[in-house]
Amino acid sequence: MVSVMDPTGQQFEIAAGGVRAVVTEVGAGLRSFTVGGVPYVESYDAGTRPPRGSGSLLAPWPNRVAGGKWSWEGKEQQLALTEPTAGNAIHGLLRHVLWRAEQDPESVRLTAVAPPQSGWPEPVQVSVRYTVAYGGLTVTTIAENLGEWPVPFGLGFHPYLRAGDAETDDSVLRLAATTELPLEAQLPAGPAYPLAGADPLRDGLPLRGVSLDSAFGGCVPDPVDGRVRHTLTGPDGSGVALWADPDFRWVQVFTPEDFPGRGRAVAVEPMTCPPDALNSGTDLIMLEPGKPWTGSWGLSPFPAP
């Protein structure tokens, strides 16, 4: 029986050789990922709320909806203001619900439904499978509209990457993005603009002294395997790659100073759409009834352990 005092519910550990991950029942979030005992995401203690959204799954939209308001098929929608201090709706509807789980030694599949409610017109079922294997972690999501009418959908995840035991300030971040979305009060303040060809984020940005809470788009897949790839590299040249299917055209980068037990941390959040996409319509996925959408991302340490 799960204690009602545990905000993350059961902890599902999956392992293959030295590759290990822990996923939570509440929110279907990634609590830890290690290879050979080396951490590649920031973790937190079981029985505590995920700090700073750590590891969260963000659906049926990622990031913020301004004022929680948007319009669909001519009808005004008003979402609950889950970021009350700023007056926005944030990170979807499924972060704080219990997910139904099916587990085997190397994977766990969790499923939940975002039902029709204030501000959300159609039921959307989301299933996510976390799988570990030699080489890393794969996270595959299937979203399905259980209603009668089409509905827009966006997906994001909120991992805080680590280059193994390296400090965040000693690490270098490289993104596959080609544009930046200007933000004001963490909401879009204009159209995305191109990053310079020699922008440090594309070539490798040392994180010491850098403060970011920024959205980047136009993520370009690697021509070799067709995946978008962002990397965090430590001073010894080792690190972790976050790869994603081409539908993950956006990435949010956030560098808080106060991650528990760590201090400086860096979230690299793959997203299918930018902040406030329910209003802008930018890169929204249209879920037709009976036509599921599937997308994957994952983590791969390098060099391969």
Q: How would residue 305 be classed by pLDDT, with cut points 50, 70 and 90?
A: low
Q: Is the pLDDT of residue 189 over 50?
A: yes
pLDDT in tens, 214-262: 999 999 999 999 999 999 999 999 999 999 999 999 999 999 999 999 9
In the DSSP assignment, the letter for residue 196 is P
Q: Give residues with Cβ within 8 angstroms of 233, minimum separation 6.
A: 163, 171, 172, 174, 204, 239
Q: What is the 3-state secondary structure (H, E, C) of 173-188?
A: EECCCCEEECEECCEE
CB atoms within 10 A of CB 187: 18
Percent of the chain with pLDDT over 90: 94
Q: Is the pLDDT of residue 4 over 50?
A: no
The domain ranges of the chain are 11-302
Q: Is the pLDDT of residue 5 over 60?
A: no
CATH label, 11-302, candidates 3.60.10.10, 2.40.30.10, 3.30.2310.20, 2.70.98.10: 2.70.98.10
Residue 133 burial (C-beta neighbours within 10 Å; 0-12, 13-18, 19+): middle
Q: Is the pLDDT of residue 124 over 90?
A: yes
Concatenating the DSSP letter of every residue in 264-302 gives S-EEEEEESS-TTHHHH-TT-EEE-TT--EEEEEEEEEE
CB atoms within 10 A of CB 46: 15
The pLDDT mean for the chain works out to 95
pLDDT in tens, 251-284: 999 999 999 999 999 999 999 999 999 999 999 9
User: Taken in order 79, 84, 88, 91, is the CA torsion positive or negative?
Assistant: negative
pLDDT in tens, 28-46: 999 999 999 999 999 999 8
Q: Note the pLDDT of residue 301.
A: 97
Percent of the chain with pLDDT over 70: 98
